[in-house]
Structure 1
């Protein structure tokens, strides 16, 4: 129109980045091609941290379900569940990871830690960022094993973040066993334990002193909490909790909560409970499971109890508004609301006792690895299941 003054408003770059930091990773991946400044800004620690904190403050949660099928539960994959209202946690897509194939033991997933997951599949360990779809396979450890050891096995593992050096670390216990023969039979006489520590920043391994405490596998829940990783463990005096400080790289121990029946009659799972170390205790036997949640705050206190929940096999993880994901006796995923005692069947099944719920927020943390396509990771429709 004649006489109309056209003006162009310039938005300050700092405000543009503030707006962009509130967007999902999928959008930011597309916007990298807009200009070099945006592309480089998305890779700075400041923007990555801001983006992650925005997701945390908005409680933008994502759900992965590790599951398996096959006659013996040997076919492992992941299902991305919808968290949108009204979609009842329906399966959006299924994700197949080749690292989970062809192993004599089940692959174990640790985390998330700042949106990153760690895979432990026998002799291969790697990190996965499901938001950016990057995968990183670790190099083989260069730490020397005792030359006379008859067998070496890789035991439990921990994964966490070193906030001082902005580094992600993986700690692994390695058992070296020695045999002797008696009356024509072979026995293991003793075991030497080594502790390996991997740094993502240096992409290398180093050896740490053995803490002298026997840690157990712990993988149903996320055991990384505010700079520490925790394992149930055994020492000479009995059962304890072993912790590892990711910054100082030191071990220490804590007592277990005191509960009726002890570990002989109950399972114990360590968990991140609202930023504090928690312990979930539930019985090994019975069709009516009572679930007790303990929280460490200087000492152990019982925080919650869900008494006599029918048709439940085991707890899998916490959800919003105090709700809890459970595996039912029929080995299906259900959501339990303790306030109403309502059990909601979500219509997702899996092989018995092998489901794992992973709740994470999106992150842009780079892994300096390869893309999912390069690692032959496949994302397929919700109707797809791997066939052996």
Structure 2
């Protein structure tokens, strides 16, 4: 594996001769990794790239164009990245969360990924800028009558209503260490706000999440990680013979911080109970994968969020003869001409699926680990380039406070000139 180069040769004319609106337009087209280094070009460039409005505009553009996408590959013990437009080099993702065991990646949103070493050791990390924000530890309190922790569900998302990044942690408890099939597992649900840098406990957890059994979710890596769509995180809850009578998707609204459910397509909900199901997101839409005997997979997309009638069967993927089975399949992204879809299959390969010919072509990545889970990450400057988000906010608040105090002192001195001795204007 390769490591990212420590420097970048950038040949620019005298920056003072280029109007800043042109510089702004050029910089908006560059990947975040390059922009981090462009900050050294001049003070105006430094200020422009660190400006919150520029960071927001840059993110908006990459989300609209699909430029500078990275594929994050989580191997057995390490995390790697590769540029989707240039697959000749896989880079080791260095991050401060590394330790002896594996670090889990539990989601991607606007260039940030969620990292977990344990339920109390979490962070959000920007692999483009290498900036990290460690979440303050939040204890897990066993409820009365529970013997131990069963499973932990995570979710990372952006709440567009409050302009805030949030992490959801749902901890499941077992009342009896021998009870694997109980239907009343208690939960502790907490939400972390990046803006507030604090955790909040959700007291009114939905009864639906009590059916998210850990013995089911451990079957496939990532099923415990929430899928982000429609300003909400989602976990699939398929029907189980003799246990769960209906199909649904558990939804957590990031703005309201409340649970509700999203119904499956009627054709699926009323069909075969043995279908293996999973959820994902494609083209910004919540999607449902229905795996039939590991032979073929139907992919449904919810075209209008939380409108059941808008579920549409987008395409079907048949198992090729060269493949033993499709145990797991997830669509990631459409090609730019939208005639193909990038699929992750069996945690071992990425393939382009041609929507017209129905044929697959392997996406070959040099030095790729033999087994991995894949995550698409956009190139962004979210979290900034200067370090921890909250440290930046504190510095900005301190600078604003100092500027205000300085202004007040100047005004005070001016007014004092007009006051007689013994009278003092208190500002």
- TM-score range, shorter-chain basis? 0.7 to 0.9
Return the structure number with greater strand share.
Answer: 1
Q: Note the C-alpha offset of 1:26.
A: 2.5
Partner of 2:90: 92
Q: Which moved more, 1:271-280 or 1:200-209?
A: 271-280
Q: Offset of 1:195 from its aligned partner? A: 0.7
Asked whether the equivalents of residues 173 and 196 of structure 1 are also in contact (C-alpha less than 8 Å), the reply is: yes
Change (3 A) 1:260 1:151: closer
Q: Is 1:171 the equivalent of 2:168?
A: yes
Question: Cα RMSD (Å) of the superposition?
Answer: 3.5
How many Å separate the matches in 1 of 2:132 and 2:171? 24
Cα pair distance change 1:254/1:112, threshold 3 Å? same
Partner residue of 1:315 out of 314, 321, 329: 329
TM-score scaled by length of structure 1: 0.75
Decide whether the 8 Å contact of 1:176 with 1:191 is kept in 2: yes
Q: Structure 1: state its 5+ residue gaps.
A: 1-7, 69-74, 181-185, 371-388
Q: Does 1:195 align with 2:189?
A: yes
Partner residue in 2 for 1:41: 48
How do 1:42-57 residues align onto structure 2 when only pairs under 5 Å count? 42-57=49-64
Q: CA deviation at 1:213?
A: 1.3
- Pairs aligned (count): 343
Give the conservation status (yes or no) of the 8 Å contact 2:158–2:164.
yes
Contact 1:66–1:78 at 8 Å: present in 2 too?
yes
Q: CA deviation at 1:117?
A: 0.9
Kept in 2, the 8 Å contact 1:79–1:91? The answer is: no
Q: Is the 8 A contact 2:132 2:383 kept in 1?
A: no
SS state at 2:158 partner: strand
1:277 matched residue in structure 2: 286
Q: For the structure 1 residues 144 and 187, does the alpha-carbon distance in structure 2 shift closer, same or farther, using more than 3 Å as the test?
A: closer
Q: 1:154 to 1:136 in 2, by over 3 A?
A: farther
Matches within 5 A, 1:1-388: 12-68=19-75, 75-84=76-85, 89-95=87-93, 99=97, 102-103=100-101, 107-123=103-119, 124-142=121-139, 144-146=141-143, 149-179=146-176, 191-208=185-202, 209-214=204-209, 215=212, 217=217, 219=222, 223-233=227-237, 238-257=246-265, 258-259=267-268, 264-285=273-294, 288-297=295-304, 298=307, 299=309, 300-310=311-321, 311=323, 313=326, 314-316=328-330, 317-320=332-335, 321-326=338-343, 331-347=348-364, 350=369, 355-366=372-383, 368-369=387-388
- Is contact 1:294-1:304 (8 Å) kept? no
Counterpart of 2:55 in 1: which secondary structure? Answer: helix
Report the Cα offset of residue 306 of structure 1.
Answer: 2.9
Inter-CA distance 293–91: structure 2 relative to 1 (3 Å threshold): farther
CA contact (8 A) 2:227 2:280 kept: yes
Unaligned runs of 5+ in 2: 1-14, 390-427
Q: Which has the higher helix share?
A: 2
Paired with 2:313 and 2:32, the residues of 1 have a C-alpha distance of 38
